[in-house]
Structure 1
Amino acid sequence: MLKNIRKQVPWIIGLVVTVLVALQANAIFPVRLVNLIDFFAYDVRMRLEVPQLNKDIIIVNIDEKSLTEVGQWPWKRSVVADLIKRLTDDYHVRAVGVDVVFPEPDGSSGFQILEGLAKKELKDDKGFAEQVANLKHQLDFDDRLTKAFESRPVVLGYFFSDDKKAVSKGALPKPALLQAELGGRDVESAEYFSFIANMQQLQDAAIAGGFLTPTPDSDGVIRSIPLLAKYKSNYYEALSLATARVALNATRLKPKFSKDAESLQADASKDDEIEAIVLNSSPRKTIPLEPLLRSLIQYKGKGGPDGGRFTYISATDVLKKQLPEAVLADKIILIGTTAVGLKDLRTAPVGIDYPGVEMHANVIASILDNDFKVRPSDSRSIELIQVILLGIVLTFALIRLKPVSAILFTLSCLLAAIGFNYWMYQSFDKVLPLATPLLLIFLLFLFVFGWNYVVESRRLRGVVRRFGEYVAPELVAVMADEPDSYTMEGESRELTVMFSDVRGFTSISETLSAVDLREYINIYLTAMSEEIRGNRGTLDKYIGDAVMAFWGAPVRLTDHARRSVESALKMQVTARRLSEEFVQRGWPALKIGIGLNTGEVRVGDMGSKIRLAYTVMGDAVNLSSRLEGVTKLYGVGIIVGEATKNAAPEFAYRELDRVRVKGKTQPISIFEPVVELVNLDAGMAAILDLWHRALNSFRTQQWHEAEVLFKDYLQTHAADVAAQVFLERIAYYRDNPPPADWDGVATFASKFSE
């Protein structure tokens, strides 16, 4: 039950994380960090935009050069008037947006003082009054600027403020949209309560006016501006919208609502949005709006004279008429400044010193080119779908996949979310939230993968603790992939079991000192264990100088018999190498006998409450032990049972005999593995054939023929004990013929003797 509960925990974690992020996506549970990430993602997309020179908009720059040649700012209104007349009368521009406010009279000429004297102290001096009147055209700079605005396509800028206590100054232009035109709708928008605008006479003379009020996001970066803002129930247009409208010869704008009249009547709250503005230009222009009647600014380039999107021309070059008429003809002009001292530099996604005038230029360019990036009204739905899909897919993958695959899949999801977001941005001009999917991916990876890592680490430690003493590290790694599949609980399974023993160990122990004996046996056991574990064998135990091992558990191996025989052959090679080293050190030679048998056994954790061990039990185990003992009688290094021989046909075998070992009534055939079949040469094959012909003659009681063949075999294998055993048996049976029912089977009364 605990195991089942543990398996469900990652799903629960994934569900909880997905639900929490989904709530955040629907603004039920907003997180400031998410907004900051979205801001960052938006800014990165802006920086990736490649600037393309806009040929319709020119920025006349009150730059350092202009300030040096004309004088410090503010300039005399007469200079500004000359600049306006140069642009409109000499260069024939389409519209002029002035990113400058003139709220106070210009007293730099002293005309106001003279006019005051003429009205008060010198009012009786008619000659003085006449002279003042004659100087009005020359010295009344405000009047000169007013006349420069008259009948010319000039749009003046002004500032709104949300300070309810501030005193307004100047005069506002006519509203762009009256409250009555909303049809009773309650439209959410930016609302202001005071303003600093241009002098009444200047605003009345201009064709239009537009507010300049910057609207930074919570991090201080300006990413959008309101195109319409509310003041005393009516709505006024931004400088960029007003300038674009004048340039397009549009006389009015019409709101496009998200709800029709019938839907509005059914809505008791009367809440609605203006989703677009339609200009009555030819052709008509539809300008999409964000909530709060805002528009995202399409920054393309770093801004400024070297930004690459707009051409900057020094104001002094216009005043001096140093430019060809074609440079400015029919262009939309924005008068602004990049001079550091005039403080019209803003923080934008593409830089912290972005000219404020160029923000308006970008919006005008979007209106002219119908190039808008918008947050779709269904962006929340798209975001929610992304969260749900990512939550399900990523949770499933993190639970099922291995660590490396899980990490790669998570990175793929991350790239897919970013790619989809950027594709929607570039191909469909849709600005979708990116932070929420990224946050979900990060949290799911952190918690689900983290949980699995902790649990799997615990399982791995359990696997290492349970099996690390028995199996090779590579097998532990295999088991760690599915730790629940490997337990110490008992089960029946077909395995191949090995017993290995040192020949004459009693004599060896009597010959060596305690220290040397310890080193002798440690070297031997280490080398044998390495051969066993190196071929995926499980080391069961050491029994004095004996080694017990098996293949096929805890990791299932379909070729456990082949691996066991291969290991036994390698162990004999290693034993011969060690024997040479031992002899060189003055120690006794090393010889080992190995018994192998394949069969059904019980494998698992067995023992007592005091001590348990992962081991095997069963008849096949006992037979393996008996076969190891029989190796002494036949003078061979390895004996395998018939089941092992049949399960490992990759080797050439010498059939040694048919025997009944102690505790068994049924005879079994025993074999000595000689070499892998791929390495069996013709000479070796002939010797094996000779042996098997001799064995067959013996079993058919052809004593003479068998004797001759065994002696022939001894010609090439003089020290072969098995051949000597059969010659002794032949001699015995000649004098003592076997009974009629003799089956040629040798019966062993003990583990090691007949």
Structure 2
Amino acid sequence: MAKWLKQLLLGSFIGLFGVLVYLLPLGLALEEKFGLNWLFHLRGVVTSPDDVIVVAIDQPSATQLDLPITPRLWPRDLHASLIDKLTEVGARVIIFDLIFDTPSVIPENDKKLAHAIKAAGNVVLIERLVYRDTGLLIDDEQTQNRLFEEGPAPLLPIIADAAEARAPFPLPKAERVNDYWTFKASAGDIPTAPVIVLQIFTLPIYDDFVRLLQAADPTITEQLPSHAKDGDIEDLILTLRHIFINRPQITQKIQAELNRDSNMNLTEKKMVTSLLNLYSGHEKNYLNFYGPPRSITTVPYYQVSKLHENKIAKNLPEGIDFKDKVVFVGFSGATQPEQDIVRDDYHTVFSNPDGLFISGVEIAATAFANLLENKPIRPLPLSGALGILFLLGFVMGIVFLILSTRESIVLGIFVISIYTFCAYYLFKEAAIWSPVMIPLSQILFAFILAEIQKHHLEKKKSKQLEIQLAEIRKSLGSSYPNRTVERILGNKDEQGICSPCLTTDVAGYTTLSELMDSRDLGQLINEYRDVLKNPIRQHDGHIMDMIADSMLAIWIDDPENASLRTKACQASLDLAAAVERFNQSQSDSRLLLPTRIGLHFGEMSLRRGDGSYNVIGDVVNTANRIQGANKVLKTRILLSSEVADGLDGFLTRSLGDFILPGKTIPVKLLELVAYRQSASEEQLWLCEIFMRALNAYQLQRWIEASQGFYDILKVFPTDGPTQFFLSLCLRYMDEPPTSPWPTSRIDSK
């Protein structure tokens, strides 16, 4: 296949990959969970509009007013007094995020609240949405199905009838709240509280709005009341929603009329634009959070309730003025313990690490503020997002195949930086949400596939590694032709290679050799060696040396090829299993050959001499020391982090850093436990609990670490690493450890 065609195919594949993922629910979930969260935190906190204030029922207010913190237990005459005070100071709209659906213990308080609401004429009440059983449906096949209808639960009539409007504010049941409904289609397209509040707030420009509608289409205004206060506010909203949904072109006409209008000021024009976008927009809006809890201007309830004690409101925070403001009243805890008592809080992108979430009343205030500012978070239009994803993937797929690895890395970092800045800028300045995680995944995916492709092409061009592999086999007695020897080393007698190195040793071999006849011992060892050879060769390893009970094996290929280390680990597990089967076949328990395995990775020297080949270097020595560490830790297979780094498919247990005998530089050791897919529940539990206990040990939390190790010993009483670190914990409780900490030292070989 031509090179240019491969480039086009890879570019097209990466581009289509991004488009497909974005269109799937998985793509949206990925962007919401990670991309949106990242953009919010990169943007940081922004100032909320001055038009919105939250009056918080919280612990300080409950303490000052000598009331329980639970809002439903507060006397309703207190709310009536609050409404009177807010009305006196000029609040334009008051919203209660409290459910008044049952009578008070004192009926007179309900009458006082209803009277205050009626007198204010600007109070909106929150109501719940519930599912009601509306009857039994029998279809043509005589199957009975219950019918359930979603709708608002009734409030106490005396209070509900006094309100200017009632509306629900349902939030999606999700792990994290990112959006809300403006119109709830499943409940008859009912408008939610932020929509109701915006329409009431903008009633002063109602006549101008109707005038613009009439200029765009004279027939429309016949459906609308002549005056703002005529009729029910919810009916007005539903009528406007119906008009804009069924005549989508009218939005542009009104916007054009608005641009030409000279009778309205800038603030009034912004209100009209907000209404246009609300009624012509989607039924769901993404919340544009201003910051962590209480980023919306928040005043404790008790401070507002004392307004009558000081006409100039010196008890309020500096700069607080309720005149012409929208006031949301509801529970808003300032601390996490408060929220534990009254559960009206939601996990959002700005939830505090200490567990403090944003309250429901603040989310409602945020939603209204977004509508008023006309700044909800808007996803990038679908056509634009798909175009960017395809173009980005297409270009990266082609360019990565052309450039070298180093050039590709530099370009990838540059493109990621530029794209990220553009996404951040759009989000910060225009509240436009561009996909982030999918483009970054595309770039990474394109780089990986391009590198695989280049590696494949490079492998086809050069046979050097294959020849080197063949010659190593020849040194062990294979029948490869002599010319391959020169291909490996050329005219040199030594060649550097990068390879995993495996060493084995039999525990107690010296004692066994003293007890057995030399002929019987020789036969046993020959059978044992055959057991060792098969797993190594099955996984493309090369046995370089076998002396008595010890073996040295290596793997040779591209040093950056992770499959080398994978094969070495596979060989280690299979070798251990083969030895176990061999030992089980012995009728005499004295003939058991428990085998310790050590595995390391790095640079070694391949030498030619006396017609044979051998490897030398620090890697060989370190692998042998790692193998010896099994004796102290009572483990079976130990490997270094150089082997384990980046490998999947294996269950390993990290044991920390060790200074091995004769070494000065610490080596991070891990126990190779099993193939991950075949690991037992007990093995998975052991690794997880051990990791926690070891972490506590490294942080010098001796009691916590000891308890974890004791828990392991209840299930695995002979577990060597647990016994090793538990003994250190008990020692360090009385004798603090010395440097280097937390590196452990093994002195015996």
TM-score interval, smaller chain: 0.3 to 0.5
Give the number of the structure whose residues are more often helix, by fraction.
2
Compute the TM-score of the two structures, normalised by the length of structure 2.
Answer: 0.48
Larger radius of gyration: 1
